Structure 1
Amino acid sequence: MRVLFAVDPSIAHLYPMVPMAWALQNAGHEVRLASFGGFTDRIAETGLTPVQLGDAAWAARVADDPLEPNGPVDAQRYADIMGLNAEEREYWYLFYQYLLTPISDYLRVDRPEAQELVKFAQDWKPDLVVWDLTQAAGAIAARACGAASARLVFAWDPVGWSLDRLAGHADELRDAGLDENPLATVVRPLADRFGVELDQELLVGQWTLDTAPPGLSLPTTTKKVPLRYVPYNGAATVPQWLLEPPTRPRICLTLGESYRRFIRGDFDRTPMLLEALAELDVEVVATLNDVQLDGAEPPANVRLVEYLPLNLILPTCSAVIHHGGLGTFQASIAANLPQLVCDTLESIMLRFEEPDAAEDGTQDDIGVYRSGVEYGVRDPEEAPKETIRWVMPAKKLEATPISNYVISRGAGVRLNHHANTVSELRETIAHVLQDPAFKRGAQAVHDVWQALPGPADVVPVLETLTAEARRRR
């Protein structure tokens, strides 16, 4: 069969899809990965076949007219009407304030990219379209060409979860003057353009490839196909120093690839972690760049590498310190490592407010997100001046559910740079290295992960589901 993947133009979204795409290709199926602008070069590096959508020079996140996230007032109004508790509100904010923006960006009918995806599907005629949470155009492409439609989620599904909550409170939301289904509203213009009926299946697919380990997944009414998250981190030559066994415990310190493209200074977390590690008898490999360091000097026991695939580093380590990102969390499970997850436990709700201006009239961008900014691509002084400055939480969006999961299974701890001193952070790191209980907890989580069906195991399931879905068309 022919399988088309609709991919967000970022490696954080591409890499989790690569093992499933390769499994299908290795089984003899034709596979194409469609994405925006110049990102197709990154797809080609994986050995898979890209389809370029639109102008190679254009990227939605650094456009002159970027879309802004939804504000905090309506986000809270929705949460109040739906009766969400404190934990549930975080999943709602993730959908309403964070995911709806890129979903809308990649559905723009005033741009050619989404329409080119649909037209390519109509010409190429795939049997199955697989799309991630930000690529709702993939569902429209599938419906427009008669293909089966499946989403691939990377640990949990805040979209499906939020749609279920919205449906249960539709009357109350309408009475309050709120949109009862904001996802349907952003999908509708492109669906109408191609004469595609907008229904629940269009919004969530016919089934969801669910990579969440048991106990982490959100409850939804969607049909789920379990899938083991097999880490793919890109290709690189193994440096000579990594081939030599470490002479003391090695720790990987990684704070993610995505935030350093948009947030300067890493919320002042990096200097505290480096100071805490400096007095420990350990070797540290830190995948940090200048935006994250923001002038911080690494101590003598820290080796800086701006980027190196985690699957090369982690097998040589005794523990990993990370930002709570889904990909790093899953890669650490696969490597069977105790995890120290950076998490401040604060809400992820986005707020817009102007930080106090400095004496020279400039403003500090540490911990601030601005639409249209990407460091190394379009710095703040080059972005539209009218864009809002959004104050971010000093943590990764999914850090709290990830840290709670790790702690509940005895596989690691939380590092809170807001609540803990440098000395306390150092003691916590040392404790994880010295207490064998954390290694046993990591082993138990690894065993559960290993028992999930891998990409090759899921290929026959997709073949059967696709055939059944196409017979029903």
Structure 2
Amino acid sequence: MRFLFTTFAWSSHYYPMVPLGWGLQAAGHEVRVASTPSLVDAVVTTGLPAVAVGKDIDLVGRAGSGKLHDHERWPTDRDKLSGVQQDLVKRMAHTMIEVADAMADDLVTFARSWQPDLIVHESITFAAPVAAEVLGVPTVTHAVGMPRTPGMLVRKDGPPLSPAYVRLYQKFGVAPRTAPSAWIDPCPPSMRVPGETTAPRLPVRYVPYNAPGAMPTWLIEPPTRPRVCITWGTSTVRMIGDAVIGLLSQVVEAVSGLGVDVVLTVSAATRAALGTVPDGVRVAESLPLHLLLPSCRAIVHQGGVGTALTAGVYGVPQLTVTQFADQMAVGDVLAASGAGQHLLHDEATVERITSHVVGLLDDQECLKAAKLLQREIVSQPAPAALVPRLVELAGRRASARA
């Protein structure tokens, strides 16, 4: 059978889908991954065939990046968002519709030619259900693991469909699709925001894929002191650039004075922007976290869900220092579980960061909670275990076509 994966050009939204793509391909099915041109190289490095569709959109510029991290804590109840937060949600939704419009023509053209039996798409890649509706094939939405995922939960008093969203479908003469056939959800049950989903939920184990990389020789030997990882991902740096550097420098300063083995893993560009780092800090540019974290006793990071779940897989206590709404949600649920601690960026002095990291290293209850989260994650079905269910969904389309 044929499975078409699609996402917008943001690697942190594509990487959680990679293990499922591998599982389908290993089971003998055909897989293609469609996205705009700037993601093609990242797709190719995962070993899955890439298809370039549409054109790239400047996500940072469209979203108004200067305001993304300049607001108060986001409430769990979305009905209690401030005016600034509501405006941000609307602007982000408009941006993703613009991305969908830039992808839709080419995606529909490719789908008509290749004739997939099912489309698997990232949750805010709106061009995918358009193509699926045109072809009459089922869709499965693959969440990235967030506690809250746009569109996943039913809201009985939810707003009507955006006119711009409806126009995506009208262009092709089809009715809007409002829900997928199923949701694939790698978020551990204890981290989820409760509520009824718009379609059946297929739980899946989060299997880390943090980009390709080589294991350095220094990782072969166990550390002689507790090892603390510091990382800031790529999306945060991409969205707000130099505004990250001061905060990251504070984190490095705070952790480097604790007498622990500090490993800072960042991109080459972020490393260059940081300048000189304190003595004793090992810098590992673009080292995949799943290679490093098994040796770590704690991690300090920006609250990205991929980083948080990778740390969860290895039972590592976490300090999140967050700037964005989705990061705040991750930090809040980790802190509530006892597996981590959470600071907002404007609370994060060197002294407070130091105190929180010391707490992570000394608190056996935090370590116990991190190990509980680890057991919860690994108890979920592996991505390959979902293959029969996806084949079943795809088979309904294949049978109808035959």
Decide which of 185, 189, 195 is 1:214's aligned counterpart. Answer: 189
Determine if contact 2:249/2:274 at 8 Å carries over to the other structure: no
Residue 390 of structure 1 corresponds to none
User: How many angstroms does 1:258 deviate by?
Assistant: 0.9
- Once residues 335 and 276 of structure 2 are traced to their aligned partners in structure 1, the CA distance between those partners, rounded to angstroms, is 31
1:5-404 counterparts in 2 under 5 A?
A: 5-54=5-54, 58-61=55-58, 67-68=62-63, 84-85=79-80, 95-98=89-92, 100-108=93-101, 111=102, 113-156=103-146, 157-160=148-151, 164-165=154-155, 168=157, 170=159, 180-182=160-162, 185-198=163-176, 202-218=177-193, 219-223=195-199, 224-263=201-240, 264-266=242-244, 268-289=246-267, 290-291=269-270, 294-295=273-274, 297-343=276-322, 395-404=323-332
Kept in 1, the 8 Å contact 2:152–2:183? The answer is no
Q: Deviation of residue 161 (structure 1)?
A: 5.3
Deviations 1:367-408 (A, max 9, x none): xxxxxxxxxxxxxxxxxxxxxxxxxxxx13322221222122
Contact 1:3 1:32 (C-alpha < 8 Å) held by counterparts: yes
Q: 2:189 is paired with a residue of what secondary structure?
A: coil
Q: Give per-residue Cα distances to partners, 1:249-297, cap 9 Å, x unaligned.
A: 1111011111212312317311221221121111111123554774553
The normalised TM-score by structure 2 is 0.87
The amino acid across from 1:105 in the alignment is E
Aligned Cα root-mean-square deviation (Å): 3.0
Question: Are the equivalent residues in 1 in contact too, given 2:321–2:348 (CA < 8 A)?
Answer: no
1:70-117, Cα deviation, whole Å (9 max, x unpaired): 999xxxxxx9xx99235x99996775343x144223222xx5x32111
User: Hey, what's the Cα distance between the residues in 1 that align with 2:250 and 2:78?
Assistant: 38
Asked whether the 8 Å contact 1:146–1:470 carries over to 2, the reply is no
| 2:213–2:286 contact (8 Å) kept in structure 1 | no
Quote the sequence identity (%). 31
The amino acid of 1:96's aligned partner reads K
What is the rounded CA distance, in whole Å, between the counterparts of 1:279 and 1:68 in structure 2?
A: 38
Q: Which amino acid aligns with 1:126?
A: P
Counterpart residue type for residue 265 of structure 2: T
Per-residue deviation at 1:48? Answer: 0.6
Pick closer, same or farther for the CA change 1:148–1:189 going to 2, 3 Å. same
**SS in structure 2 at match of 1:195:** coil
User: In 2, are the aligned partners of 1:337 and 1:439 still within 8 Å (CA)?
Assistant: yes
Q: Which amino acid aligns with 2:97?
A: S
Distance 1:151 1:69, change over 3 A: farther
Deviation readout 1:423-445 (Å, 9 max, x if unpaired): 23212211211222221111111
Partner secondary structure for residue 232 of structure 1? coil
Deviation at 1:340, TM superposition (A): 1.0
Q: CA separation in 2, counterparts of 1:245 and 1:269?
A: 29
Cα gap change, 1:440/1:277 in structure 2, threshold over 3 Å: closer, same or farther? same
> How far apart are the structure 1 equivalents of 2:346 and 2:99?
35
2-structure distance, mates of 1:461, 1:237? 34
User: Aligned equivalents of 2:335 and 2:65: distance in 1?
Assistant: 32
